[in-house]
Structure 1
């Protein structure tokens, strides 16, 4: 089985979708990678979900990606007397480092890194920006502020600091324990929350190594300021529009989304667009027209994948949401203007032999009307370079590494097929021919192009391309 679309679907697993039968229905409806959100749920539940997905993978005979999303250093107010207070615009309030059951003169904020970094005239956003306050003065253990936008501050509500870079590791003690647990299960991707700079990714790399791909979630203005370095150090990027939309003006989010998709495509790194894509389907069987347009915009931009969060995790219509996402992507990619949009955003190949060979292979395959372009890959880089070109034909990734096949299932247009190692040109062509026929990409007389690195099974050596017939010899 292979999808008849290029962009991929990521779906979050939660109470509404953790049953094995529902997971299977979600996969058949179109899910390519499942997300386990470690901000919620027990490790026992996540382990059960992981086992169910791996059993489904065996049943379907297809590699399925699993993404572990770490909670990250979430900043929250402490506990407040009576559970909540209401503040008005213009009112003066105080946050304190120590204390509990505070009131408007001593709202607990038990995060010393904030007191060390915050400065007058900077803003704190509480409860996803529903309450905004501006700092007037700072001491070692207090922050005096004026309310700009009033509202309710209640226990444990989140705090965002859009103008402040905090001296925080992206991995809390909980994250480190969750990470080791996820890696022991064998997750394919690890998403880092609240990345601020490239050093955050480097810190995570020291723990993860090559056991999983690292996905940086872009949800802080400081990350946007260091985006080129972050993209370069990451294996993939998620445009996390929820927290990002709290910390930057709403009107800037669409443009930033396009910038991030383009930056990732330039670097040949997969990029996911996430948050509130079909939000109304949490409680309704159909989306709004605006939501359908939002998904389509991400596809026209050339995103590798789009993601469902609450829609599939806790919503009443998880399978319907995935089905709708699949329908929107497929309809968008069939539209007469789709290829012109994708072509208009085409990027010049990086000036290196591997990128040039991948680009040449994609162009050659389109010119001769090939049924598919095959990429032999030991690390995923060869198919990522091909996918960067967004060719108008399927990309088949052949790899002896099952973990790479699972990660490649997130990449635009890529159909992953685990294969044996090859050592000669003849084996290369014969294996590619068999995979294309077995996976129903063509038949006798059809042409295909294969891109590989010589010597075989050596990462980063994309340097060879061949044309071959599915019923004949290589050319």
Structure 2
């Protein structure tokens, strides 16, 4: 055997070929792994997704996690013909990816995510709607976030919902010198009208009308229940408290007075200013805080008109009869569990949540579950198993959407939080138990003439194994009726109104597409049928020859409201 400098020739040749091969792999695949694409070793899932235990990337609960700035997966989005707010890049194509989750996700925009790269990554990770909380956002901050959302929407040729969350008549303490203070059990602490920076003995509380409602002996939660204090004495200028459970208080923390109806409207003067600003910015949803009566919703609708949709936040104790009226009047309902648990008690929240979801589904009102869904992910890359079960239970109950709050607004792992919630949604929706629950819920609904054709369409779609149900809707009524039926087929919705298409991103199982060419005023069902076939094929929801059930509303004074015309067509 020939040897050169102590090496065998075959070994020398082998090493040379191996080095050359590795060089070519590195040259062709550089950066590909970081972008989440197939590895240079092939596209085998086991190779693409194998975790590196020497990596500094955190692992997710249901997946591998990802680097802070790189989305792990892309998600299915539907192309839309919109007039862009910001001119899109001419060579940029729509995001065609593989997602059919029925339960929607809302992500809150805040200091951790108020930049284009992070918002786009959350959208591609599964967020359908973005929340702008006005209690923590100036108009400048909100404008920046909304403009970025619309820029991303235009670039990808899609629709993205924007939810403006009003502060409402919530009681908040003033500012602390260092942002927060620690208070201890047994110490004295004062809420007063002074406009001075607070310390660990007192803080500003500019609500003179509220002091009479703080009765001596009552216990008041501060900071969302992190601190509890007993009222010792009160006057028109201050309330003296004794801390019964210590902790940290921060600037602008909430003060709750449980089971007391304070003399404030649901809409404050600041809320009215924020609504005017939101309508100027073209927000799609406006969340109304501390709703107690249907009149609160009616007042907000009167201010907003047809320019946005009203979501009623249930975060205080509400009479059961009044709650039913609120659900009937509102365009959507949010179960705001944080304040709800403080205003009532912790053990009351789970049954209240289930009852509200059930009634909203029966009435066809979209319902959102919010607050502390994945709370530990504010500081950790993975949630607790209890949080994962909490999210799963809301999905099993049939909530239209789940909301991430501080997890994405100010948390250290916003993209991981989005990923984890999307993973849980997918895992639950693929389970037999989930499908069984959706079927059993529908069977208990009482007959309703406005839903008759939609109920029939659901059954027909199953009988003919339709690939999709396609709706034509100007105002979103028909797809919301179909969503109530919790159909197993995707609900593709065509609308000539871009605001309707954006709004529907919140609704269970609905995939909205903006089609400016269709017109309700110049209604042509043949045109609707043609567009339904064309769009279902374009979106990949049906293949050539598949059955598609088409629903629409034929204009006319004598026609039944909502869906009143249906046809089965081949795509």
Q: TM-score, normalised by structure 1?
A: 0.89
In 1, are the aligned partners of 2:126 and 2:418 still within 8 Å (CA)?
Answer: yes
- On the 8 A contact 2:212/2:234 being kept in 1, the answer is no
Q: 1:124 aligns with which of 220, 223, 232?
A: 220
Question: In the alignment, what sits opposite 1:11?
Answer: 107
Confirm or deny: 8 A CA contact 1:353 1:463 kept in the other structure.
Answer: no
Q: Which residue is 1:216 aligned to? A: 312
Q: Distance in 2 between matches of 1:264 and 1:334?
A: 23
- Tell me the SS of whatever aligns to 1:222: coil
Cα-Cα RMSD: 2.9
Partner of 2:267: 171
Moved more, 346-355 or 456-465: 456-465
Greater shift in the superposed pair: 409-418 or 281-290: 281-290
Distance of 1:106 and 1:322 partners within structure 2: 39
Find 2:358's aligned residue among 243, 262, 265. 262
Please name the residue that 2:568 is paired with. Answer: 468
Q: Per the alignment, do residues 460 and 111 of structure 1 end up closer, same or farther by CA in structure 2, a change over 3 Å counting?
A: farther
Equivalent residue, structure 2, for 1:294: 390
Partner SS for 1:346: helix
Structure 1 residues 318 and 462, CA gap change in structure 2 (3 angstroms):
same
Residue 320 of structure 1, CA deviation: 2.0
Distance 1:88 1:278, change over 3 A: closer
Deviation at 1:118, TM superposition (A): 4.9
The equivalent residue for 2:52 is none
1:38 is displaced (CA, Å) by 1.4
Deviations, residues 147-185 of structure 1 (Å, cap 9, x unaligned): 654566676542101110012122223222222111101
Q: 2:328 aligns with which of 232, 239, 263?
A: 232
Q: 1:181 aligns with which of 258, 262, 277?
A: 277
Cα distance 1:223–1:74, how it changes in 2: closer, same or farther (>3 A)? farther
Deviates more, 1:110-119 or 1:77-86: 77-86
Deviation at 1:287? 1.8
Q: Where in structure 2 are the equivalents of 1:64-75 lying within 5 Å?
A: 64-75=160-171
Q: Secondary structure at the match of 1:128?
A: helix
| Partner residue of 1:63 out of 143, 159, 171 | 159
Distance change (3 Å), C-alpha of 1:232 and 1:374:
same
Structure 1 counterpart of 2:441, from 342, 345, 356? 345
Contact 1:378 1:458 in 2 (8 A): no
* 3-state DSSP of counterpart to 1:221: coil
Aligned-residue offset at 1:71: 1.5
Match runs of 1:334-373 below 5 Å? 334-346=430-442, 348-349=444-445, 351-373=447-469
Structure 2 unaligned regions, length at least 5: 1-75, 78-98
Distance 1:243 1:417 in 2: 35
Distance 2:251 2:497 in 1: 47
Does structure 2 conserve the Cα–Cα contact (< 8 Å) formed by 1:377 and 1:457?
A: no
**147 and 223 in structure 1: CA distance in 2 versus 1, 3 angstrom threshold:** farther
Look up the SS of the partner of 2:221 in the other structure: strand
Q: 1: distance between equivalents of 2:316 and 2:448?
A: 32
- Say if 1:368 and 1:73 are closer, same or farther in 2 by CA, change over 3 A: same
Alignment match, 1:430: 530
Q: Paired residue for 1:200?
A: 296
CA contact (8 A) 1:387 1:411 kept: yes
Corresponding residue pairs, total: 470
Q: Within the alignment, does 1:406 sit opposite 2:502 as a pair?
A: yes
- CA spacing shift, 1:233–1:310, aligned 2, 3 Å: same
Deviations 1:23-51 (A, max 9, x none): 21111111111111112233223212212
Q: 1:37 aligns with which of 125, 130, 133?
A: 133
Say if 1:434 and 1:254 are closer, same or farther in 2 by CA, change over 3 A. Answer: same
- State how far apart, in whole Å, the 2-side matches of 1:384 and 1:277 are: 25
Contact 1:12 1:313 in 2 (8 A): yes
Going from structure 1 to structure 2, the CA distance change for 1:220 and 1:455 (only over 3 Å counts) comes to same
The residue aligned with 2:116 is: 20
Structure 1 pair 453/348, CA: closer, same or farther in 2 (3 Å)? farther
Matches of 1:155 and 1:325, distance apart in 2: 30
**Which whole-Å CA distance do the structure 2 matches of 1:399 and 1:182 have between them?**
23
8 A contact 2:132–2:163 mirrored in 1: yes
Quote the residue 2:87 is aligned against.
none
Structure 1 portions without partners, runs of 5+: none
- Report the TM-score when normalising by structure 2: 0.75
Check conservation: 1:10, 1:32, Cα contact below 8 A.
Answer: yes
SS class of match (2:307): coil
The separation in 1 between residues aligned to 2:152 and 2:175, in whole angstroms, is: 43
Alpha carbons of structure 1 residues 385 and 188: separation in structure 2 relative to 1, 3 Å: same
Deviation at 1:233, TM superposition (A): 1.8
Q: Residue in 2 aligned with 1:442?
A: 542
CA shift at 1:230, angstroms?
Answer: 1.5
